[in-house]
A and B are shown apart, each in its own frame.
Chain A
Amino acid sequence: MTASLLVRRFLADAARTPVNLLVLVLVPIVFVVVASRPLADSAELMGGPGGPAVQTATAGWAAGFIAAIAMYFQLRGARAADRRLVLAGLAPHRLVAARMVTGLALGLLAAAAALAALAVRTGWGQQPGRVVAGTVMYAVIYLGIGAVIGALVKNPVNGTVLVLFVWILDVFFGPVLGAADRPLTRILPTHYVTLWMVDLPSGHSGRLGDLGWALAWTAVALAVAWTVITATSRPRSARRTARPGSLRAQTSAAVRAGLREAARNRVLWVLLVAVPVVFVLLAVATTPQEFTTLRVPENGMDRAVRAWLPDIHGGTMAPIAIGSLAAMTGLFTVLATGAADRRLALAGMRPAALLASRLTVVVLGALAATAASLAVTATVLDASNWPRYIAASILIALTYALIGVLLGPLFGRLGGILIAFLIPFIDLGIEQSPMLRPTPLDWAHALPGYGAVRVLTDAALTPGFDTAAALLLALAWLAGLTLAAAALFHHTGRTAGGTP
């Protein structure tokens, strides 16, 4: 009852701004009518299918963009008033439901306008159901995007530009304007929606299918929007503070300070992203243009797989870049903060809080290096199983980040740097490399990268999972290194723990 009243009031609020209505209806119509034909022509130039597929997708693009903008302004404009409503006693879930329904109504209005324009312009084609459902899914996915940007970006100019940026990436690198089979663009929010909407099977959607992925994206967008609106409408005064001196208070303070300090080291972040990019692309550019044969397990048998050498070289350079950079991040994080951490421990900071702080920074650095490496690798290598390839890469990053954490106190700055470069190079670059020998030598099984690289190679070349033992070994390394890092920080706290 309350929710429906709220929805009516929120919609009235939107309707009483005449510009809103104009934007919601007019922009999608103009976009579909005017832009669909030129976009279809340019799609053919860019290697996409072009033709009716592009014209159909323009309805979704228009609906999506307008839905995101509407949601952004709805959230930004009413944030303070929404908090006041919750403070006055309104149940937060009712407010969130009303905001979501209002957003959906605005998105549907834009979708309806776009679909009407499409009907007039080209018609809805052979499968009108897909066109309508696809356009609605576009609107819902962009509702989530608008909500997230609304929660993060205060300035309306910045917010609008950010929505536009996401939309341009999504549309211009999407499957109908560009080629549908680029691995990197599969992560774009409306990749599967578009393919399903224009009836262009992707061929890489697995058991879930294109519709399954499209629905999954839509459901995730709804969940994200719900979470974000709940978070932004929560009154600030309700924030609980931890008891002074408690583990929670110390951990949150230490993690916050660690992240602040790391975020201000901009050169490190740029290098974490730039180095793997250059590393992988150079490897590909300098590799002979020929095929090679690799041996990988598949269904319990050792199978020979023929692969294009530059692609495989790029794929095998990624773990070396990830491992080296992660080790460096771990090493320098610990070395740069070691003395101050000891002072903090003397003042009473618990080792667990210090460990959480340092590991958070190290893990984020390792993940940044992994993300950059994989983004570039995806342009040269189409792994048979991407989720497992990504998971194995993260495993390598975390393993070597922890090795870096341990190397710092053991070998100091100079020795630590040399060893942090040497170990991943020997382990990941030589001993585990599938390019140099079909399977690693026996002694190389004892190296930290063995398990993760076996999983990675298997995921790169075969769709099935045949490396359970290697995965367990990699996880055992990770657990062991985590325990060792915990012991190191416990030691820091103990040697510094003389004060009562």
Chain B
Amino acid sequence: MSGRLPDGVVLTAAGIVKSYRRGVWPVRRAVLVLRGVDVELAEGEVVGLVGENGSGKSTLMRILVGELAPDAGTIARGGRIGYCPQDPVVYERLTCDEHFELFGRAYSLPGHAEQTTRAEIYERLGFGRYAATRADRLSGGTLAKLNLGLALLADPEVLLLDEPYAGFDFDTYLKFWDLVAERRRAGRSVLIVSHFVTDAERFDRIVHLRDGKAVEG
């Protein structure tokens, strides 16, 4: 399942196949979603992964992250991965601060490093005033910021973002792209999943997912 990475590459997925089983026996059938996807992400690269609804973008993302096992294919990852799922996946009754504290422990960050980065994330995404607010009491936009912030916390080499700016207002959307640009300059890589791309110039490359395969351009 895992393979070696060429120089300058931080993530590769080769020949990824994934199908879902639908229905119950004896009318169970397999729905093939990914039919041999090849994706590569280089250092300092910002890549967009686009496709229609149901094209398998989120499935591919979950496989790249390691949350889902592919039926076939190999994946190789270099460095730490930060993952921002499409729907905010958080603990409803924990506050923003408590989420950062908990994920900081999961990432094995020293306490002071976690607190410094947490403060920077609050500052950059502009939701510090909700630090002590429970996740189930946040607005959709602020919850999306928390969702993204948890992926950014460990300053990962590879950032995999699934529809990250869906709930952002325009100001936050611009802040988000400033952050992505900064990460690119620092040699970090970002893969962004979206069902459509409005600012193509912000990406180094765009990969389309069509008929279960990845197509460049």
Contacts and interface: CB of A to CB of B under 8 A. Distances in A.
Interface of A: 241, 244-245, 249-250, 253-254, 257, 260-261, 264-265, 336-337, 339-340, 342-349, 495-500
Return the 4 tightest CB-CB contacts between A and B, nearest first: A498-B66, A245-B108, A253-B105, A349-B106
Contact of B77 (A265, A349, A495, A499): A499
A244 B109 contact: yes
Given A344-B102, A347-B154, A495-B67, A500 B77 contact: yes
Given A244-B105, A261-B93, A498 B98 contact: no
A257 B94 contact: yes
Contact of B66 (A250, A261, A499): A499
Contact of B105 (A346, A349, A495, A499): A349
A346 B81 CA distance: 9
Contacts of B150: 343, 347
Given A264-B134, A498-B66, A499-B80, A343 B101 contact: no
Interface residues of B, number: 33
Nearest to B76: A500
28 contacts: A244-B111, A245-B107, A250-B105, A254-B105, A261-B91, A261-B93, A261-B94, A264-B93, A264-B134, A265-B93, A340-B90, A342-B89, A343-B83, A343-B85, A343-B150, A346-B81, A347-B83, A348-B106, A348-B107, A496-B67, A497-B66, A498-B65, A498-B75, A498-B77, A499-B77, A499-B80, A500-B78, A500-B79
Contact of A257 (B68, B79, B91, B108): B91
- Chain A, interface SS category: helix
Residue in A244, A264, A344, A498 with the greatest tally of chain B CB atoms within 10 Å: A498
B98 A346 contact: no
Looking at A340, A343, A495, the one whose CB has the most chain B CB atoms below 10 A away is A343
A342 B67 contact: yes
Nearest to A241: B111
Contacts of B79: 500
B103 interface: yes
Contacts of B98: 257, 260
A496 B108 contact: no
Contacts of A345: 106
Given A495-B67, A497-B66, A498-B81, 4 more contacts: A250-B106, A257-B101, A260-B94, A349-B106
Contacts of B54: none
A241 B111 CA distance: 9
Nearest to B110: A244
B216 interface: no
Contacts, number: 90
A500 B80 contact: yes
B66 A346 contact: yes
A344 B103 CA distance: 7
A417 to B, nearest CB: 19
A250 B134 CA distance: 21
Given A336-B92, A500-B79, A257 B67 contact: no
A350 to B, nearest CB: 9
A53 to B, nearest CB: 50
A270 B201 CA distance: 55
Interface of B: 65-69, 75, 77-81, 83, 85, 89-94, 98, 101-103, 105-111, 134, 150, 154
A347 B103 contact: yes
A260 B101 CA distance: 13
B89 A343 contact: yes
A9 B105 CA distance: 46
A339 B150 CA distance: 14
A140 B111 CA distance: 43
A261 B103 contact: no
Contacts of B92: 261, 336
Contacts of A249: 105, 108
B101 A496 contact: no
A241 B114 CA distance: 15
Nearest to B66: A498
B77 to A, nearest CB: 6
A157 B65 CA distance: 54
Contacts of A257: 91, 94, 98, 101-102
A260 B83 CA distance: 25
Nearest to B103: A347
A343 B98 CA distance: 15
A253 B102 contact: yes
A344 B81 CA distance: 12
Contacts of A265: 93
Nearest to A348: B106
B191 to A, nearest CB: 14
Contacts of B85: 343
B68 A495 contact: yes
B13 to A, nearest CB: 11
B112 to A, nearest CB: 10
Contacts of A349: 105-106
B66 A347 contact: no
A244 B111 CA distance: 7
A344 B104 CA distance: 10
Nearest to A347: B106
Contacts of A347: 83, 103, 106-107, 150, 154
Contacts of A260: 93-94, 98
A496 B85 CA distance: 13
A221 B148 CA distance: 51
Contacts of A498: 65-67, 75, 77, 81
Contact of A499 (B65, B69, B91): B65
A230 B107 CA distance: 35
A44 B199 CA distance: 86
Contact of A253 (B67, B78, B81, B101): B101
A331 to B, nearest CB: 16
